[in-house]
Structure 1
Amino acid sequence: MPRNSLGSLPRAASRLPRMAPDMSRLPAGRIVTLADDVTTRLYDTGEEHLRPVVLLHGMAATGMLNWYQTFQRLQGEYRLIAFDQRWHGMGHHGDFGFQALGEDVLRVVDHLGLESPIIGGYSMGGLVAQLAARTDPSRLGGLVLAATGTGAERNALEKITLGGFLRSSPLLNAVPVEIAREISEETPSPHAWALRELSSVSFATHRTVIGEVARFNSTSWLHELDLPVAIIKTTRDIAFPQWIQDEMADLLPRSAVFPVHAGHAVCAT
């Protein structure tokens, strides 16, 4: 399993982040209908001459809320695409399950006619990216898996941690929807926009997603994914401890690990 230093990452990765979004630099979201009448809100920089990268957000986030810094920093280097996954933001409100979320990724790829896109997944999005690749790895150019792993609830420590998340999950959404509804600006400020996005993910979604994470286990089939995978290893991660990220890297036949000395929320913050 190769190990790479941060010095070998693309030059854009070393830029200082902007914590407040510059709304003028972000593409407008649009509602699209994918195959099987699946609807979602899609963001696309639209630069068809650049390599396409589809970014999958984590739990309690939305496509742009999770990835706006990436959009600001990598526009012009890749064609960046994000969308709201089911039960998040303006994502589809049909049946929920990680297998369905993985199929939605390929629906987006087909809808946009993307050739060999890179799929980047953070946390929950990393699990979904694995499932999308499992369906047909030949359709994808590679994966970037950040702050994620092979699943959870396989030993006593993980069960205790998952139990704590389930009991505290209502606290994850700190923005009641009533507050967001009071924001009436037609073009909201970055702060008001973030409040709206946070409030769009219900408490029920948190609990459902945590339950899906608890059931997820990719250890029996990850070795089948014969495509290049970059793993952003968050060394201070509590949600996905280092060992479970290392397990994922060891199982993937073509993986490279890029350690980042930060906690689980680093991709969003």
Structure 2
Amino acid sequence: MHFIESGVGTPLVLLHAFPVDARMWNAARTSLEEHARVIAPDQRGLGESALHGASTGVDEPAGPVVRDRPSMAAAAADVIALLDELGLERVVLGGCSMGGYVAMAVLRAAPERVAGLVLADTKAVTDNEEQRANRLSAADRAEREGTDGWLSESTLPNVLGTTTRADRLEVVNEVRDIIETQPPEGVAWAQRAMADRPDSTELLRGYSGPVLVVVGEEDVMTPPDSAAELAGTLPNAELVRIPGAGHLSPVETPAAFSEAVASWLGRIS
């Protein structure tokens, strides 16, 4: 599993959104590394991480996780294996969008490893039938046609806020470039894994550790009202709304995102 690491202090593992990779954290990471040991992995099949791997020793209710079968449990097993490799017993897990789903899956599989959560522009509930069908259709298309052009053009209007699309052309181009470098087979795997993810509402309701919920005020995919509802399910959560940001708040407004996380880390430590 490829990862980027910098900084010292509290281990903070940042899990990226779909369909990008760990580079989405670059701007935020340079600020956060003054406050934490930041580890940003590429999730399986995306960025520089391989798609296929051996079976893990982590158990699901139905038995051992098979890493090649698309699931959040398999993605979580990758993260847990990375923690083992780095000798990290407990970490703060941060995830944006899909990364939040993976963070919740890690919490489900190994709650003892999670010292706190940063949930950015994400949700605990599953997709509805239309959303799930769209994911599976996109996975099939990625395998059939590749992802050139259509994936970034269909994604950017949803993941970037109106302010970013109007005033931050460099961010739009950066996100487009990252999307267009993702391997089609990794894109398909991630879509199928997300389509199959379980509801995590009760899981989060039972988590007493500290949680920071972050949402861009212009997020149309997991809007501020949904973020407030998510924070309300958690016994020990803080909610931060970031002006001028959409669904990729750590990329669109990295200074505001980093300030919120660094301040929260200071309080929980």
TM bracket, shorter-chain basis: 0.5 to 0.7
1:93 and 2:51 are equivalent in the alignment: yes
Q: How far did residue 117 of structure 1 move?
A: 1.3
1:235 and 2:217 are equivalent in the alignment: yes
| Distance (Å, rounded) in 2 between the aligned partners of 1:160 and 1:61 | 19
Q: How far did residue 104 of structure 1 move?
A: 1.5
The runs of at least 4 aligned residues of structure 1 exceeding 6 Å deviation read 192-196
**Taking structure 2 as the reference length, what is the TM-score of the superposition?**
0.67
Q: Aligned to 1:221, what secondary structure does the other structure show?
A: helix
1:66 and 2:40 are equivalent in the alignment: no
Map 1:34-183 to 2 at 5 A: 40-45=1-6, 47=8, 50-63=9-22, 65-94=23-52, 95=68, 96-154=70-128, 159=130, 163=134, 170=147, 171-173=150-152
1:179 aligned partner: none
Cα pair distance change 1:263/1:113, threshold 3 Å: same
2:163 aligned partner: none
Cα pair distance change 1:46/1:111, threshold 3 Å: farther
Gaps of 5+ in 1: 1-39, 175-191
| Distance (Å, rounded) in 1 between the aligned partners of 2:189 and 2:224 | 24
Map 1:173-212 to 2 at 5 A: 173=152, 197-212=178-193
| Distance (Å, rounded) in 1 between the aligned partners of 2:91 and 2:100 | 15
Cα pair distance change 1:268/1:46, threshold 3 Å: closer
Q: Aligned to 2:191, what secondary structure does the other structure show?
A: helix
Q: Aligned to 1:141, what secondary structure does the other structure show?
A: strand
Q: How far did residue 115 of structure 1 move?
A: 4.0
Gaps of 5+ in 2: 53-67, 154-172, 253-269
Answer whether contact 1:137 1:227 (CA < 8 A) is retained: no
Q: How far did residue 84 of structure 1 move?
A: 0.8
Q: What letter matches 1:87 in structure 2?
A: G
Cα pair distance change 1:141/1:198, threshold 3 Å: same
2:264 aligned partner: none
Answer whether contact 2:209 2:236 (CA < 8 A) is retained: yes
List per-residue Cα deviations over 1:15-57 (Å, max 9, x = no partner). xxxxxxxxxxxxxxxxxxxxxxxxx11211263xx11111101
Q: How much is the aligned-residue C-alpha RMSD, in angstroms?
A: 2.9
| Distance (Å, rounded) in 2 between the aligned partners of 1:74 and 1:59 | 22
Cα pair distance change 1:193/1:228, threshold 3 Å: closer
Q: How far did residue 86 of structure 1 move?
A: 0.5
Q: What letter matches 2:194 in structure 1?
A: V
| Distance (Å, rounded) in 1 between the aligned partners of 2:46 and 2:110 | 25
Sequence identity percentage = 28
| Distance (Å, rounded) in 2 between the aligned partners of 1:93 and 1:164 | 18
Q: Aligned to 2:246, which of 231, 243, 263?
A: 263
| Distance (Å, rounded) in 1 between the aligned partners of 2:132 and 2:77 | 29
Q: What letter matches 1:163 in structure 2?
A: N
Aligned residues: 207
Q: Aligned to 2:201, what secondary structure does the other structure show?
A: coil
Q: How far did residue 112 of structure 1 move?
A: 0.9
More helix, by proportion: 2
1:219 aligned partner: 201
